[in-house]
Structure 1
């Protein structure tokens, strides 16, 4: 009998680490060695291909910059020769052309930036191996189905009485295949969300929108009872809608859209189409890519890139625009002034029929009222008023801030006539127009 430790080690997934720098390989070794993997190392592409030929490798993690050939070219060659091996790219700079090459030719599972976050890299390795296991299991089940189908044809002529039992067994196998395929599609959706976190790393914490857009879209789909296919496409579109911004400078990434220079606006208007182009080679995300392309179209036809109008805009794209604008208005990425959630919804309601599908706006506001604890606009007792509409006895439903961010009045404040007069005077002096969220006095609620 063989050594049990040797047998156990041979069952562990093999991970090949490729980097020209010994210190990088040493850091990766220190990070991964405590985990149940068989580690292999290579300093250049030739050595990596030799390891692939002589060892069983499940996952390759390669640096983007290597001697002789770059990382994407190496991963593309490994993909051709060893299609079942999962591939991850490590890159020290956000070279969009290099990343595109890795996605299109190497069909990488994902890429990570150098320097990496240890927990993120460990999670990526774990998920990549889980993804690969799912794919292999799917192929195994497909092969099993083909084998059993062939056996059924041979047995059918001899054992007619077993047809019903064999058919039931095949149905069970088909169900397992469907489950495996659904898991594979779910892996794509999960991968899209993980990739979106990389896009977020280009932004300061206060301007990171992807996670909030994903969660809001998912809540809308659940509350409105949208179909599974549209839910999945919307979730992936929400995760990847701004991938086309990766080539932007850091300053442009955080500049409000209405503050961009004319030459920057051209790049801004191109990002939905560029995002779509990066994703179209991946078959499971092509429908999501179409939603991304059109999520900046306007209901009145003034949007981009194709100036679609009204119902010609895909439903998912109309929903995605509502979610993206709602979050970006609060992060100061559309207008220079950051809005609170209620102000953002007032803005969306104001532009219903121009920017947004008017049939979706009120439902979207209700979803936000249910999903977000800081939204008061969905409360029937709350009204949005200008300062000259205010009367004594009204209660502020949320904090009132000046345009420069200074707190003027706290939520819960009961308005008096002198206080209303002061607000009007301050508004006039500042040259602003405030939207005041108030709760009506009880007797006015009843009459309303």
Structure 2
């Protein structure tokens, strides 16, 4: 912003012109001409005086006579070039000064010369051209500085984002690893992983857990309508629940407001969250198909999507189902002004249908057409979990997953309803352990 203000200030300034001539009458005539054209004209009668003025003011253009005592125009312009290389230098010379003019071109780096006696229109034209060249150089310097500063900010943003992603990815991957080790004897390892990761989304104030549930339900309904394999139907809702998991490793600034309010670099960063999800889920090998569905969720049927521009059946079926389900609920949420939920559902479906064959697979759109009228009445069966130590338990809490000791011996079965006796026993065991138990307790999701 400061660089842009400098640019505006430069454009509004009157040009500064320095005139050097040892003949007072010539100098007065030159200054009078320049001021008639609204230039800020300064004058000097000797080279040293002119150099002193250049120490205080940056001049757009410097005009010097050739023949002067003590310091010739060529000598002065050579020193002026060292002091202010961007200032445009014009030499006033007589017809007989050809040799001296060549010296001024070589040593003083003059940009133009005008023969005496000059014609006013010609001299003003040369000066205006010199001013334009000086201003253009300064504008380029300011814009280059602005671009450099913006690139540095973008580089810092990318570095900060990368560090944040790496940090949070390591944390979540470590948590996933611990989780898989802790439930290796648990037959419902898959469900445990999904529920715990979903809870991370559900408790985040900037992410919509309810939307994730709706997407999961829709994925399941579409998969069933397509007569998908039992495994595909089992994994379909998981992709919906975890489609936003990659956002947990990113700065909330990227997802706590609409995409339309993000800068272009921020939007590009936002669309990397599926690849972060894939990285997070890589330790959970049993979720590989889910991971692929999430990674390719922004691919388009016509090949215009990301991250790889896949088209048609090259896109994993789970990703195409997730794509339709996600966008359906995004459209549904955009139009809260409709009188009924049915109207919102109809509108959302027709938005999807408009892009059938372009963004979405026609068969999946047809499946959505058959199931969407009943989606708003569906209930969610998955439960939410909380993790407690033994000393945080209360009577009537329900154990969500079987509890084992370090030797793999089951202490309590899944579904156990805690009472004073079982809580007391666990507290005694925990008091002898170096670390607290991590007891998963069911909690209904509203």
Output the TM-score relative to the length of structure 2: 0.42
User: Which of these two proteins has the greater Rg computed from alpha carbons?
Assistant: 2
Higher relative contact order (CA 8 A, sep 6+): 2
